[in-house]
Amino acid sequence: MMKTEIKREEHNLVRMEIEIPAEEVQKEYDMAVRKISQHANIAGFRKGKAPKNVIERQYGVDTIKYEAMESMLPYVFSQVIGENKLNVITQPAVEKYEFELGQPLKVTATVELKPEVTLGEYKDMTIEVDEYKHPDDAFEKSLNGFLERSATLQDVTDRKVKETDICKIDFDGYVDGEKLKGGEGNDYTLDLAHSSFIPGFAEQIVGHELNEEFDINVTFPEVYHEPSLANKPAVFKIKLNKIQERVLPELNDEFAKKAGPFNTVDELKADIQKFLDDTKKREDDAIIKKAVFEKVLENAKVDIQDSMIEREAQELLNEYKQRLAAQGFNYDDVMKTQDEDKIMADIKKDAETRLKSTLVVEKIAKEEKLNIETQDFDSKLAQVQSMYNLDKNTMLSQLKANPSIISGISQQILSEKVIDFLTEHNKINLK
């Protein structure tokens, strides 16, 4: 009969000391011999027919022991974990073993457990949060947005450039006195109010006159898709070919009919107000959910082991690198201009928060018997399908190929259920 001693140590680590009877070990050893024999090419013997002592001499007893342990230990560990109801999050790691034929096999292995969560107060709380407020000019900006989308352009010849103008320019860029590859343009249209050029470029065109030639001095951003230009000063020679200003249409019922399904200006204004009201409601809901969950997290206690945080941080770092790559940046190049230690510290902090959030969600779901139902999953899949414009078969094939996606969707559903429960069972005062 197998003997087991479980020792619980700090930071959710369990040490398993296991002793497997000699006769069971011998059976596994003999099976390993037969398994090796099936594939062994030994002169004078057909595969599977070489005697045990020949296999031992050819491959070595230690190799056979290793093969036996590889076959035996996964089942042994599974049995020990199940019998002792250990909620493990890592595969057991063998620290040491004593394997002598004719003697019990003694194995010492460690495994990490999922951290225990001690929930503090999470129901029947009163929480005060600041409500969402639109900027004072939100309505005016929204209304002007309709007008600007129908604006016409009119040439300007009698004044200098304003920050709201649209200009046509010739430009030539230089870095360290050398002409900048790809840094030139002829009769390029630049909307000064919505420029995506290097910071400071559009702003320095303001105040100049039609047909004027002048230089602009800028500095490339610290993080730039071309690393050799990052943080480099540059000079652009500019010729201002045309200045245009937007001319807004008159705000009347005729314009309202052209702008959308409206008959009057009042209907257009009512639609804008409804949009702003709906936006405020969504923002307030998001603020409430965020505030109540943060309070629950603050009240909960979880001892998360450093090794678990390190693994989660590595996942977040990989996600960060993928985002940079998608934007055309190389991580190593970016780190030349960034404080890598600070970035890693932030990632570790985010990793700990993400782990704690997941564990707290799971604990509350268990306490309150909040389960993922089939309709919950179907509804979420329908959302994903609509969001990414996927047909159902394509989506299902992607789910089958990536089980981690299913796990992520399940976690999202559970989080939403828990946060909805917390919102319903706490009193939130919007200030």
- Give the tens place of pLDDT for each residue, 158-169: 999 999 999 999
Comparing C-alpha atoms, which of 386, 387, 406 is closest to residue 396?
A: 406
pLDDT at position 41 over 80: no
- Give the predicted TM-score (pTM) of the model: 0.77
Which one-letter amino acid corresponds to residue 112?
Answer: E
Distance of CA 270 to the CA centre of its chain: 38
Class of domain 268-430: mainly alpha
User: Could you tell me the two tokens for 82?
Assistant: 């199940």
- Give the tens place of pLDDT for each residue, 383-426: 888 887 877 778 778 777 887 888 888 999 999 999 999 999 99
3-state SS string for the chain: CCEEEEEEECCCEEEEEEEECHHHHHHHHHHHHHHHHHHCCCCCCCCCCCCHHHHHHHHCHHHHHHHHHHHHHHHHHHHHHHHCCCCECCCCEEEEEECCCCCCEEEEEEEEECCCEECCCCCCCEEEECCCCCCCCHHHHHHHHHHHHCCEEEECCCCCCCCCCEEEEEEEEEECCEEEEEEEEEEEEEEHHHCCCCCCCHHHHCCCCCCCEEEEEEECCCCCCCHHHCCCEEEEEEEEEEEEEEECCCCCHHHHHHHCCCCCHHHHHHHHHHHHHHHHHHHHHHHHHHHHHHHHHHHCEECCCHHHHHHHHHHHHHHHHHHHHHCCCCHHHHHCCCCHHHHHHHHHHHHHHHHHHHHHHHHHHHHCCCCCCHHHHHHHHHHHHHHCCCCHHHHHHHHHHCHHHHHHHHHHHHHHHHHHHHHHCCEEEEC
Q: Where in the chain is the domain with CATH 3.30.70.1050?
A: 3-113
Place of tokens 């292995």: 109
CB contact at 8 A, 36 and 59: yes
Fold for domain 152-247?
Chitinase A; domain 3 (3.10.50)
Q: Where in the chain is the domain with CATH 3.10.50.40?
A: 152-247
Dist CA 242 CA 223 (whole Å): 32
Share of the chain above pLDDT 70, in %: 99
Q: Give residue 335's pLDDT.
A: 87
pLDDT at position 49 over 80: no
Give Rg (Cα) of the chain: 34
pLDDT at position 43 over 80: no
Q: Where in the chain is the domain with CATH 1.10.3120.10?
A: 268-430
Residue 23's contacts (CB-CB under 8 Å, 6 or more residues apart) are none
Class of domain 3-113: alpha beta
Q: How far is CA 272 from CA 20, 267, 306, in A?
A: 75, 9, 51
> pLDDT tier at 329 (50, 70, 90 boundaries)?
confident
> pLDDT tier at 54 (50, 70, 90 boundaries)?
confident
Q: Give residue 378's pLDDT.
A: 85
Place of tokens 């304003």: 162
- Give the tens place of pLDDT for each residue, 8-39: 999 899 999 999 999 999 999 999 998 888 88
